[in-house]
Structure 1
Amino acid sequence: MIVGIEGKVEAREPTWLHLNVGGLIYEVNVSLNTSNTVAGKEQVKLYVTQIIREDANLLFGFADRNEKKMFDTLLKINGVGPKVAQAVCSTFTPESFAKIVAAKDVALLKRVPGIGPKAASRILVELADFIVDGSTAEGSAAADHQEAVMALESLGFKKEAIRKALAGESGDTATLVKAALKKLQRL
Structure 2
Amino acid sequence: MIGRLRGKVQFISEDQLLVDVHGVGYLVNVPASTASLLADGKEGVLIISTYVREDAIVLYGFATEGEKELFDLLNTVSGVGPKLALSVLSTLSPDSFCQAILEGNLQRLTKIPGIGKRTGERLVVELKDKIAKRYTAIGVSPGISSGVSQTVSEAIEALLALGYSASEAEEAVAHLNLEGTESTESIIRRALGVLVKTGNV
TM-score, structure 2 length as denominator?
0.64
Identity %: 35
Aligned mates of 1:128, 1:90 — CA distance in 2? 20
Aligned pairs for 1:167-178 within 5 A: none
| 1:117 and 2:111 correspond | no
| 1:136 to partner: Cα distance | 6.9
Aligned pairs for 1:26-41 within 5 A: 26-39=26-39
Aligned to 1:21: 21
Question: Match of 1:104, as an amino acid?
Answer: G
Which ranges in structure 2 are unaligned for 5 or more consecutive residues?
142-173, 176-201
| 1:70 to partner: Cα distance | 0.6
Structure 1 stretches of at least 4 aligned residues deviating more than 4 Å after TM superposition: 131-136
Aligned to 2:57: 57
C-alpha RMSD over aligned residues: 2.7
Aligned to 1:75: 75
Aligned pair in 2 of structure 1 residues 64, 133: CA closer, same or farther (>3 Å)?
A: farther
| 1:56 to partner: Cα distance | 2.1
Aligned mates of 1:135, 1:126 — CA distance in 2? 18
| 1:133 to partner: Cα distance | 7.0
| 1:90 and 2:90 correspond | yes
Aligned mates of 2:77, 2:14 — CA distance in 1? 26
Aligned mates of 2:11, 2:36 — CA distance in 1? 14
Aligned to 2:156: none
Which ranges in structure 1 are unaligned for 5 or more consecutive residues?
140-170, 173-187
TM-score, structure 1 length as denominator?
0.69
Contact 1:66/1:133 (8 A) holds in 2: no
Aligned mates of 2:137, 2:125 — CA distance in 1? 26
- Corresponding residue SS for 2:128: coil
Aligned to 2:99: 99
| 1:10 to partner: Cα distance | 2.8
Aligned pair in 2 of structure 1 residues 41, 102: CA closer, same or farther (>3 Å)?
A: farther
Contact 2:6/2:44 (8 A) holds in 1: yes
Aligned mates of 1:128, 1:40 — CA distance in 2? 37
Contact 2:28/2:61 (8 A) holds in 1: yes
Aligned mates of 1:135, 1:79 — CA distance in 2? 27
1:94-145: CA deviations, max 9, x gaps? Answer: 1111111111111211112221211110001111031677997426xxxxxx
Residues paired across the two proteins, number: 143
Find the structure with the greater CA-based Rg.
1
- Corresponding residue SS for 1:37: coil
- Corresponding residue SS for 2:2: coil
Aligned mates of 1:100, 1:57 — CA distance in 2? 32
